[in-house]
């Protein structure tokens, strides 16, 4: 099993960095680690800009906040309300991943709206893709904008917001025959028909309530955004997305798992020093603190995220902390040393497997360190993934948020 993981990852990575495999085989670990460090940095530095547009009052700013995991009252939130708020393109960096910028764009419903002018005004080239929001039917203005984006080669997703309002209205008007699925299907079909009537083929439409983001189509939107973005930006976007669907948790886990060997090589190959109390293991503890903090941020297990989740779900923080298996304190050197000590007890069998992989012969010199670090990261990631699944199932009651009717997206 371990052999397969390594062979897969090495061949994947060597596609990107041609000389890497040769360097590995030449046994030059510092050179390999330096290259991998550059790869890690480039993964962390990728910039991503998302433009959020739509009519005045459609819910643009509320979406900008929600996708960054913020409520309306957070100091870093975009202003929201019933009077027109967003007049100029305004950048809102993700609170944990500053290289991801969500742009709150002006409304598209000015009397003289022209898509070309609008796109020029908001500097269309700046964005990786757009979200076009409406709380009611899509109009010619939305499709004009979409066509403008198609001409510029920019991707976009349509969001039909405030579906909670439609559902509540329908429920109160026709309580005896109300069917949530039927109302959602009608909204979806109306969106498709109007967009297709305006000449847009196969429009991607996602039904959302910004106040119950985990329901309806948000998980599908997350998956589509990740798949649609350029491949070198996928990991960056993925780890930053809210943990509101089982599918997104699994995708995050798989992307982070693929990087474990990379982090372990850098941690053992650069700035490594003996780990006190853990025999034969030398590594860079700060690199590991950074990696573990990355896991906890991405899966919403850091203190800030747990405090927010407690407030959102009305649960006392200590209940959430009792329920998680992973660390309940900030990641310190002492904690990492302790985790390495635990991992070293299981690492020796793994070390043997590792040394049997020919291309990793270069790592033989630091085989025990590498195996221990790898094992620690792998166990920590697995626990973080389990905790994240448990949190969304137990506290957010999300088990499956795919709608069967949405099968054509
Ligand atoms: N019920 C419900 N209300 C929503 C939803 N999304 C936004 N709202 C509310 O709609 C109002 C307008 O939302 P904003 O996010 O300020 O809309 P905007 O598009 O940024 O508006 P401008 O900046 O004025 O163009 C606010 O009162 C929001 O709370 C939703 O999905 N459901
Ligand atoms: Mg606004």
The answer to the question of residue 184 being in a domain is yes
pLDDT for the residue numbered 23: 53
Choose one of 55, 63, 65, 81 to mutate for the ligand 1 pocket test, by most ligand atoms within 8 angstroms of C-beta. Answer: 81
pLDDT for the residue numbered 4: 40
The answer to the question of residue 401 being in a domain is no
One domain for residues 104 and 198: yes
pLDDT for the residue numbered 75: 83
Say which residue the tokens 């930053």 belong to. 240
The answer to the question of residue 109 being in a domain is yes
86 lines ligand 1 (CB under 6 A): yes
pLDDT for the residue numbered 370: 82
The pTM (predicted TM-score) of the whole model is 0.86
Domain boundary among 215, 240, 265: 240
pLDDT for the residue numbered 165: 96
* Opening angle at CA 96, ends 93 and 97, nearest 5: 60
85 lines ligand 1 (CB under 6 A): yes
One domain for residues 7 and 96: no
Residues 6+ apart with CB under 8 A from 284: 266, 267, 268, 270, 271, 272, 273
pLDDT for the residue numbered 171: 92
395 lines ligand 1 (CB under 6 A): no
pLDDT for the residue numbered 80: 80
The answer to the question of residue 206 being in a domain is yes
pLDDT for the residue numbered 153: 95
The answer to the question of residue 172 being in a domain is yes
Closest by CA position to 52, among listed 70, 74, 71, 67: 67
HEC profile of the chain: CHHHHHHHHHHHHHHHCCCHHHHHHCCCHHHHHHHHHHHHHHHHHCCEEEEEEECCCCCHHHHHHHHCCCCCCCCCCCCCCCCCCCCCCEEEECCCCCCEEEEEEEECCCCCCCHHHHHHHCCHHHCCEEEEEECCCCCHHHHHHHHHHHHCCCEEEEEECCHHHHHHHHHHHCCCCCCHHHHHHHHHHHHHHHHHHCCCCCCCEEECCHHHCCCCCHHHHHHHHHHHCCHHHHHHHHHHCCCCCHHHHHHHHHHHHHCHHHHHHHHHHCCCEECCCCCCCEECHHHHHHHHHHHHHHCCCCHHHHHHHHHHHCCCHHHHHHHCCCCCCCCCHHHHHHHHHHHHHHHHHHHHHHHCCHHHHHHHHHHHHHHHHHHHHHHHHHHHHHHHHHHHHHCCCCCCCCCHHHCCC
Contact predicate 370/272, CB 8 Å: no
109 lines ligand 1 (CB under 6 A): no
81 lines ligand 1 (CB under 6 A): yes
209 lines ligand 1 (CB under 6 A): yes
One domain for residues 90 and 27: no
Q: Ligand 1, closest atom to CA 165?
A: 1
One domain for residues 147 and 230: yes
Count of domains observed in the chain: 2
Distance 73 CA to ligand 1 centre (A): 14
One domain for residues 380 and 280: yes
The answer to the question of residue 15 being in a domain is yes
Domain boundary among 183, 210, 240: 240
106 lines ligand 1 (CB under 6 A): no
Distance 98 CA to ligand 1 centre (A): 24
162 lines ligand 1 (CB under 6 A): yes
One domain for residues 90 and 148: yes
pLDDT for the residue numbered 38: 84
One domain for residues 90 and 147: yes
CATH number at residue 101: 3.40.50.300
Distance between CA atoms of residues 28 and 237, nearest Å:
33
Distance 212 CA to ligand 1 centre (A): 13
Structural domain of 314: 2-44+248-394
The answer to the question of residue 235 being in a domain is yes
136 lines ligand 1 (CB under 6 A): no
Contact predicate 330/303, CB 8 Å: yes
One domain for residues 30 and 98: no
Distance between CA atoms of residues 210 and 200, nearest Å:
25
One domain for residues 109 and 92: yes
215 lines ligand 1 (CB under 6 A): no
Q: Ligand 1, closest atom to CA 56?
A: 25
The answer to the question of residue 291 being in a domain is yes
Distance between CA atoms of residues 105 and 121, nearest Å:
10
One domain for residues 93 and 232: yes
One domain for residues 259 and 389: yes
Choose one of 55, 56, 59 to mutate for the ligand 1 pocket test, by most ligand atoms within 8 angstroms of C-beta. Answer: 59
Domain boundary among 240, 264, 289: 240
**pLDDT less than 50: residues of the chain:** 1-20, 361, 401-409
Q: Which residue's alpha carbon is at the smallest distance from atom 4 of ligand 1?
A: 162
One domain for residues 258 and 281: yes
């Amino acid at each position: 099993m371990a052999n397969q993981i390594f062979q897969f990852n090495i061949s994947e990575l060597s596609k990107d960095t041609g000389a890497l495999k040769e360097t590995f085989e030449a046994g030059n670990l510092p050179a390999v680690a330096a290259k991998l460090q550059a790869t890690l940095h480039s993964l962390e530095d990728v910039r991503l800009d998302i433009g959020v547009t739509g009519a005045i009052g459609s819910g643009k700013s509320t979406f900008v906040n929600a996708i960054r995991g913020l409520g309306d009252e957070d100091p870093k939130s975009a202003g929201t309300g019933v009077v027109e708020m967003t007049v100029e393109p305004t950048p809102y960096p993700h609170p944990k991943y500053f290289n991801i910028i969500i742009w709150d764009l002006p409304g598209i419903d000015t009397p003289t709206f022209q898509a070309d002018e609008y796109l020029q005004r908001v500097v269309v080239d700046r964005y990786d893709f757009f979200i076009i929001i409406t709380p009611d039917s899509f109009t010619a203005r939305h499709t004009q904008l979409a066509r403008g984006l198609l001409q510029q080669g920019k991707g976009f997703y349509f969001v039909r917001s405030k579906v909670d309002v439609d559902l509540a209205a329908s429920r109160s008007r026709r309580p005896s025959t109300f069917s949530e699925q039927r109302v959602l299907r009608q909204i979806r079909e109306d969106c498709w028909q109007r967009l297709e009537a305006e000449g847009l083929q196969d429009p991607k439409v996602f039904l959302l309530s910004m106040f119950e983001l985990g329901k309806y189509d948000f998980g599908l939107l997350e998956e589509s955004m990740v798949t649609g973005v350029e491949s070198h930006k996928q990991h960056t976007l993925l780890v930053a997305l809210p943990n509101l669907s089982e599918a997104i948790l699994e995708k995050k886990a798989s992307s982070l798992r693929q990087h474990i060997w990379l982090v372990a090589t850098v941690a053992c190959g650069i700035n490594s020093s003996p780990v006190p109390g853990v025999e034969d293991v030398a590594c860079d503890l700060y690199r590991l603190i950074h990696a573990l903090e990355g896991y906890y941020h991405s899966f919403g297990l850091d203190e800030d995220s747990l405090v927010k989740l407690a407030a959102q779900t009305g649960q006392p923080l200590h209940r959430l902390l009792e329920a998680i298996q992973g660390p309940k304190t900030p990641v310190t050197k002492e904690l990492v040393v302790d985790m390495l000590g635990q991992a070293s007890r299981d690492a020796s069998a793994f070390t043997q497997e590792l040394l049997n992989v020919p291309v990793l012969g270069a790592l033989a010199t630091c085989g025990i360190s590498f195996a221990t670090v790898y094992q620690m990261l792998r166990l920590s990631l697995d626990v973080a993934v389990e905790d994240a699944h448990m949190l969304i199932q137990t506290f957010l009651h999300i088990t499956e948020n795919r709608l069967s009717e949405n099968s054509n997206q």
